[in-house]
């Protein structure tokens, strides 16, 4: 509720008349006075002092008492803020006095209010009697849609504290929040206190209500403690602790349920992040996420901030940059473990990645004066299985590897060429016998490749628009000899997806443990249409295909590839008239004469707050999905009650439909209503957590423009899920939240 302090610190703007001591200019119809005596100005009085302008019917200044008194329609403008009242009396020496029936408007929050009286006690303290604040218009058409009022407001600028007594927030006349005493800081400095409550509703926890308490422990440390009541599960608590020291910083997030009535046990989730720097430039960090049980990610999905909610990483790292002997490099030590959340359904079981206990490595690169480049990487890893993983045939052990690449890139305005040599060497020591009975093994695999391309340009026109078209053919030749690797352990290698990046990769695998044998040529071409004035890309299209010169025995699919011609990859995109955006990629098999994979996306955005997007994704024999997202106005009224101007209703949502299963997998549907001075949001979200399980929650929020947001916050959900989604109101610069009451 940061903007509240703007409304209730009215006296700071008014006292600027006395504090700024800049030259004063006075204009009026009549000015009279005598030396060392009172000066009076009458009729259209205007007083200017720096950015401050004061207008009144009459103004009197008495140098003997050093007081100024303005009577009639008193108006003050200062840096966009406006104040008006019937009478102002101010002592310029002691800064004491009063302002009767003031009304105020603040440019930054586009909100204001009125009070019966402001009493200036001295230069540091003042009081407001019967003060109010709203961003809704006060145009005589009725009461504002929302109004924050207080019986008395005391401001102490020396203590940086304001206190409002009898504060009540009303929405269309109905009290929705009240506080006997409300305190707030008068500057951007943080202050301890209670924050607005958060409310969530879903099918797993029921109605969830939390009231956060913000604790400003120190300028560089704070905490937010949130007691929570869940109708289905009982009492819980969220704790967030943040710290920022000269050489380290971090954050700890904890959710704790002493007793879950549904599961009949205690439950918790913990996320720890820490980063710091030691002497000699050594950087270190911790990023650990853990939960109490396997079902935690289903019951409290919002409390698991991980892109893979069933694989929770715990990582400890330290690294040291270095430079010497012509190399720039990094030495590092890491420890990474995983918590794998198993499912009771065997068909939904997952295999967790290996843990690295530890990972010690060194990376370096060197650029020669003649243009050649050398990149080196060497690591020692101790691979262990995650806790509870007893799958037969899964080896554990240690691996040392070295990866070196020497290249000589050459480039000019119309051509480029990069010859390179890569050597992948690895040594293994396993705890269990490998497939051939050995526990020790070594292998070294070289790869030679040459990658090059040309660039042609011409001026052209498309749909009446002048463009510059390029044609960029590309050719890559790769040779990797065959090396037997089937008996070696596979700790971290996985097949690459077929896309515009991987098709030009010399190795079909990511990771170290597998290097595909290769003797192939990759041929492709891309054409781009560019705006010659700005260089922005209006359209692009391309095609690429790989030609095998011999059979490839080691493949991600585990079956030798004997096709001399690979699938064709077609890709392209266009931005048409700044409204339509098209993008797509298709993997076509000439041998089967059918599409194997495709991703097609279209988005229509004719203006702000108007966007519709659709995506079609196909993986042959695996999945076929249609994804639709939108933000679109559906209704508008010319005038809304409370002087808020026109109101507009928006529909927002995203639907993910499985064409293969004929069902909606994930969905997000809601409405937003912008009434000018307030915004209401209601959003329903359904997330699949299994073949027959889903989490459904309802998010509702009331945003009082210029004051605060109440309820649960769906904004991050909307931004993450709807392509092109925009806020109905642009967020102002981020500041710490303010407390609501003591």
CA proximity to 54, closest of 30, 73, 35: 73
CA proximity to 654, closest of 702, 701, 599, 714: 714
Domain annotation for the chain: domains and CATH numbers: 3-189 (2.60.450.10), 401-576 (no CATH)
pLDDT tens per residue, range 150-174: 999 888 877 777 788 898 988 988 9
Q: Any idea what DSSP says for residue 657?
A: E
Tell me what the mean pLDDT of segment 672-701 comes to: 88
CA proximity to 312, closest of 294, 331, 334, 330: 294
pLDDT tens per residue, range 627-646: 999 999 999 876 544 445 56
Predicted pLDDT at 566: 92
Predicted pLDDT at 5: 42
pLDDT tens per residue, range 429-444: 999 999 899 999 999 9
CA pair distance 579, 598, nearest whole angstrom: 23
Q: Kindly report the number of other CB atoms within 10 A of residue 493's CB atom.
A: 19
CA pair distance 420, 587, nearest whole angstrom: 28
* Residues ≥6 apart with Cβ < 8 Å to 688: 665, 666, 694
Predicted pLDDT at 285: 97
Predicted pLDDT at 9: 45
pLDDT tens per residue, range 393-419: 689 999 999 999 999 999 998 999 999
pTM, two decimals, is 0.81
Which range (191-195, 407-411, 466-470, 559-563) has the least confidence? 191-195
| Tokens 């990582």, located at residue | 315
**pLDDT > 90: what percent of the chain?**
54
Predicted pLDDT at 346: 63
CA pair distance 81, 77, nearest whole angstrom: 6
Tell me what the mean pLDDT of segment 203-220 comes to: 92
Predicted pLDDT at 577: 72
Predicted pLDDT at 125: 83
Tell me what the mean pLDDT of segment 592-610 comes to: 93
Predicted pLDDT at 738: 37
**Contact in structure between 232 and 262 (CB atoms under 8 Å):** yes
Q: Is a pLDDT exceeding 60 seen at residue 518?
A: yes
Predicted pLDDT at 13: 52
**Contact in structure between 403 and 422 (CB atoms under 8 Å):** yes
pLDDT-derived band at 4, boundaries 50, 70, 90: very low
Predicted pLDDT at 742: 39
Q: Which residue has the higher pLDDT, 551 or 694?
A: 551
pLDDT tens per residue, range 272-328: 999 999 998 999 999 999 999 999 988 987 778 877 888 999 999 999 999 988 889
pLDDT tens per residue, range 93-128: 777 888 899 988 877 777 888 899 988 888 778 888
CA pair distance 549, 563, nearest whole angstrom: 10
Q: Is a pLDDT exceeding 80 seen at residue 690?
A: no
CA 308 to chain centre: 17
* Residues ≥6 apart with Cβ < 8 Å to 254: 237, 238, 239, 240, 268, 269, 270, 271
Predicted pLDDT at 483: 93
**Contact in structure between 523 and 475 (CB atoms under 8 Å):** yes
| Tokens 């929770």, located at residue | 312
Q: How many angstroms separate the most distant Cα atoms in the chain?
A: 113
CA pair distance 314, 309, nearest whole angstrom: 13
* Burial of residue 322 (number of CB atoms within 10 Å: 0-12, 13-18, 19+): middle
Predicted pLDDT at 428: 97
pLDDT tens per residue, range 455-477: 999 999 887 889 999 999 999 99
Predicted pLDDT at 39: 85
CA pair distance 473, 470, nearest whole angstrom: 10
Task: Supply the mean pLDDT for the chain.
Answer: 87
**Contact in structure between 529 and 462 (CB atoms under 8 Å):** yes
């Amino acid at each position: 509720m940061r903007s509240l302090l703007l409304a209730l610190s009215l006296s700071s703007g008014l006292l600027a008349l006395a504090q700024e001591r800049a030259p004063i200019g006075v204009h009026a119809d009549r000015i009279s006075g005598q030396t060392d005596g009172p000066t009076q100005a009458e009729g259209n009085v205007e007083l200017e002092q720096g950015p401050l302008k004061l207008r009144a019917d009459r103004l009197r200044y008495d140098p003997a008492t050093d007081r100024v008194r303005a009577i009639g329609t008193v108006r003050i403008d200062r840096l966009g803020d406006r104040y008006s009242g019937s009478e102002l009396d101010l002592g310029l020496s002691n800064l004491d006095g009063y302002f009767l029936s003031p009304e105020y408007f603040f440019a930054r929050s586009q909100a204001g209010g009125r009070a019966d009286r402001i009493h200036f006690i001295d230069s540091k303290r003042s009081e407001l009697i019967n003060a109010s604040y709203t961003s809704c218009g006060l145009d005589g058409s009725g009461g504002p849609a929302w109004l924050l009022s207080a019986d008395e407001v005391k401001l102490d600028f020396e203590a940086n504290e304001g206190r409002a007594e009898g504060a009540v927030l009303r929405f269309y006349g109905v009290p929705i929040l009240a506080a006997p005493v409300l305190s707030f800081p008068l500057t951007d400095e943080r202050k301890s206190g209670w924050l607005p409550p958060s409310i969530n509703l879903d099918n797993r926890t029921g109605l969830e209500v939390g009231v956060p308490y913000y604790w400003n422990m120190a300028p560089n440390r704070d905490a937010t403690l949130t007691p929570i009541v869940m109708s289905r599960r009982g009492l819980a608590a969220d704790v967030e602790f943040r710290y920022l020291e000269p050489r380290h910083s971090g954050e700890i997030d904890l959710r704790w349920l002493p007793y879950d009535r549904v599961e009949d046990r205690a439950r918790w989730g913990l996320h720890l992040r820490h980063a710091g720097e030691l002497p000699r430039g050594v950087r270190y960090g911790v990023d650990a996420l853990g939960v109490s049980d396997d079902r935690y990610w289903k019951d409290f999905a919002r409390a698991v901030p991980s892109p893979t909610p069933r694989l929770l990483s715990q990582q400890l790292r330290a690294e040291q940059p270095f430079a010497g002997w012509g190399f720039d490099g990094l030495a590092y030590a890491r420890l990474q473990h995983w918590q794998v959340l198993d499912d009771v359904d065997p068909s939904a079981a997952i295999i967790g990645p290996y843990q690295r206990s530890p990972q010690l490595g060194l990376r370096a690169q060197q650029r020669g004066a003649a243009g050649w480049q050398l990149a080196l990487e060497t690591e020692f890893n101790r691979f262990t299985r995650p806790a509870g993983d007893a799958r037969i045939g899964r080896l554990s052990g240690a691996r040392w590897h070295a990866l070196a690449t020497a290249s000589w890139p050459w480039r000019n305005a119309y051509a480029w060429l990069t010859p390179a040599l890569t050597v992948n060497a690895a040594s293994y020591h396993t705890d269990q016998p490998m497939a051939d009975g050995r526990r020790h093994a070594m292998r070294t695999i070289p790869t030679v490749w040459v990658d090059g391309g040309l660039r042609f340009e011409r001026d052209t026109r498309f749909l009446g628009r002048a463009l510059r078209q390029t044609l960029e053919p590309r050719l890559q030749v790769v040779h990797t000899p065959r090396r037997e690797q089937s008996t070696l352990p596979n700790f971290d290698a996985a097949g690459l997806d077929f896309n515009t990046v991987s098709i030009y990769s010399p190795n079909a695998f990511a990771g170290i443990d597998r290097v595909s044998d290769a003797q192939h040529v990759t041929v492709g071409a891309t054409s781009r249409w560019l705006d010659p004035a700005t260089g922005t890309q209006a359209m692009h299209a391309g095609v690429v295909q790989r030609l095998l010169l011999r059979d490839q025995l080691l493949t991600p699919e585990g079956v030798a590839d004997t096709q001399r011609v690979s699938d064709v990859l077609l890709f392209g995109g266009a931005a048409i008239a700044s409204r339509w955006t098209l993008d797509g990629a298709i993997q076509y098999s000439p041998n089967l004469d059918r599409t194997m994979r495709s991703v097609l996306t279209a988005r229509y955005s004719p203006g702000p707050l108007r966007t519709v997007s659709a995506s079609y994704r196909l993986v042959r024999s695996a999945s076929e999905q249609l994804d639709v997202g939108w933000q679109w106005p559906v209704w508008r009224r010319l005038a809304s009650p409370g002087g808020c101007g026109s109101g507009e209703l928006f529909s927002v949502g995203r639907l993910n439909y499985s064409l293969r299963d004929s069902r909606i997998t994930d969905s997000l549907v809601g409405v937003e209503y912008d009434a000018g001075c307030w915004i209401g949001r209601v959003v329903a979200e359904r997330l699949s957590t299994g073949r027959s399980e889903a989490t459904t929650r309802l998010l509702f929020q009331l945003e009082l423009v210029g004051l605060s947001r109440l309820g649960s916050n769906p904004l991050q959900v909307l931004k993450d899920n709807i392509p092109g989604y925009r806020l109905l109101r642009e967020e102002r610069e981020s500041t710490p939240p303010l407390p609501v009451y003591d």
